[in-house]
Amino acid sequence: MRRSRTVALTAAAAAAVLVVTGCSSSSKSGDSSSSATNAAGGGANAATKNIVNASDKKGGTVTFEMKGTPDSLDPGNTYYAYIYNFSRLYARPLTTFNPAAGEEGNKLVPDLAESLGQPSADGLTWTYKLRKGLKYDDGTPITSKDVKYAVERSNWAPDVNSNGPTYFHDLLVDNPTPYEGPYKDKSGDLKSIETPDDTTIVFHLQHAFADFDYLVSAPQTAPVPQAKDTGADYVKHVVSSGSFKFESYEDGKQAVLVPNTNWDKSTDPIRKQLPDKIVLKMNIDQATIDKDLLAGNAQVDLVGGGVDPQTQAQILRDEKLKAKTDNAYGGRLVYLAINTKVAPFDNVECRKAVQYAIDKVSVQTAEGGPIRGAIANTMLPPDIPGHQDFNAFETKDNKGDEGKAKDALKACNQPNGFSTVISARTERATEVAAATSIQAALKKVGINAEIQQYPQGKYLTDNAGSPQFTEDHKIGLMMMQWGADWPTGYGFLQQIVDGRAIKPSGNSNLGQLNDPAVNKMIDDAAVNPDKAAREKIYGDIDKKVMESAVNVPLTYFKVFLYRPDNATNIGSTPAFSGEYDYLNIGTTK
């Protein structure tokens, strides 16, 4: 657990914190009509700016398909953007993102709460009031205690729910005697979350945190009734607080959702509850998913990574198909993490050798070309506030520099090279292709890298995201793709570069960077009430991280999504990494 980092702000500074989040408690409820179009199809990239095929038509079945399996559909035990997005159908967090396209989709709106949070003058306390009349799918009332319990089970029980981030654990004041979580500590609860009545929840922070309204948009704040929590098995019987509930769930195969009859539209201004049924099919081959989308037999590729290279080529040759595609950034980075705990990468010069050896143009080609991403030289993507253009390891035309790489190998006492392992996700063909490109480039300078593939559903829990596993299996290099948890520098960087975020399972700081200077800069930015000053610090953090050579930025990832004619309410949202917003998708079928 992190040590306390208490910082008190003056009342004036804390008041400024309220302004810099870009939101107010009087925000509108998320009506996306201002960015909607009823034009059938809408044209190429139409859904990156407007809602395409806007409709209130009820009925039909909306089919989601995915390659592989999710880390979990348990809202308190997931850390993939596509499940954050999908889970809002059955799990309502305190706040969420406006169901709209483009920049309108980046706006925070109240969800389970009736308004955005009310901070205290010193910024150390945040209070939320729940909407009145909220019910679970079984008709029982939703209370603030259920929200508190949800946060406790997702942040204080890493042996049971290890997939998600640990922001709350790290930000909230701990008990005088450290809280062991709801499964172990039967005698007490977390004192830093108070529930003075059934509709009020109060969070007590170690230090002021300007992004707190963004933090509570995570599905970890979706309520969970303690009496219904079965720990690791809760995913089999998730109790719904959203507009849909689970009719059935088969692990690794399929989930079926149907309308929640106890959902009340008057308590929920942003959901439409359109389909009669939502089906999620798992472990479907990507080529099959693409064919089903083109044929209109599926409405959404859940993972949201875009069609495979073969389908991409087919679409780009056909203007009619191309007119039904959307190509967006969405705050995502493809990069290679270098494990500082696996020799010889504990030597920064060996890490620099990898930085210089990689041909980023070849990697970009393996991913599908410029349509799938621009060459990256920084950790912060260009659409995240704080991004600065710089290149710490410049090579000619971004194609690598064998001479500089070999010089770095000499400097790290490995003039003849060495052997290592690269990990990648089995289901992600372009990720494996990128790893293969990296393998070829490294071989030219004497670094022999064996590629080992692991399932995406376990990649961050059991494999690349398990420091012990990577050390035991000598995994020195790990393919990674990262999207902002929320659209700020903190929301992008903290979990992947803060050394105090490293955890034994579900770890996202794959290189295990733990630089006190970086950690302090993150703290300084988090409490700074000035938006411009915060953003400058995040740019400086990016430069400091690149000095360590622990991550190799490869491409600023772009999705290339196809939208079937029979899918309604389609909008690409940067809040969920350029994916379509899943909240109100319907069908004309």
CA distances from 448 to 291, 397, 432, 497 (A): 37, 24, 16, 27
Q: Can you tell me the distance from the alpha carbon of 512 to that of 497, in angstroms, rounded to the nearest whole number? A: 8
Dihedral sign, Cα of residue 144, residue 146, residue 147, residue 151: positive
For helices 516-527 and 531-547, angle between their N-to-C axes, nearest 10 degrees: 170
Q: Is 262 helix (H, G, I), strand (E, B) or coil?
A: coil
Q: Go through the chain and tell me how many residues it has.
A: 589
Q: Can you tell me the distance from the alpha carbon of 381 to that of 169, in angstroms, rounded to the nearest whole number? A: 27
Digit-coded pLDDT (tens) for 545-560: 999 999 999 999 999 9
Digit-coded pLDDT (tens) for 406-421: 999 999 999 999 999 9
Q: Kindly report the pTM of this predicted structure.
A: 0.84
The pLDDT assigned to 15 comes to 31
CA angle at 22 for the pair 16 and 24, rounded to the nearest 5°: 80
Cβ(550)–Cβ(337) below 8 Å: yes
Q: Can you tell me the distance from the alpha carbon of 453 to that of 413, in angstroms, rounded to the nearest whole number? A: 29
Digit-coded pLDDT (tens) for 312-343: 999 999 999 999 999 998 899 999 999 999 99
Digit-coded pLDDT (tens) for 185-240: 877 789 999 999 999 999 999 999 999 999 999 999 999 999 999 999 999 999 99
Q: Which two tokens stand for residue 291?
A: 């064919």
Digit-coded pLDDT (tens) for 149-193: 999 999 999 999 999 998 999 999 988 888 999 999 877 789 999
Dihedral sign, Cα of residue 104, residue 105, residue 106, residue 112: positive
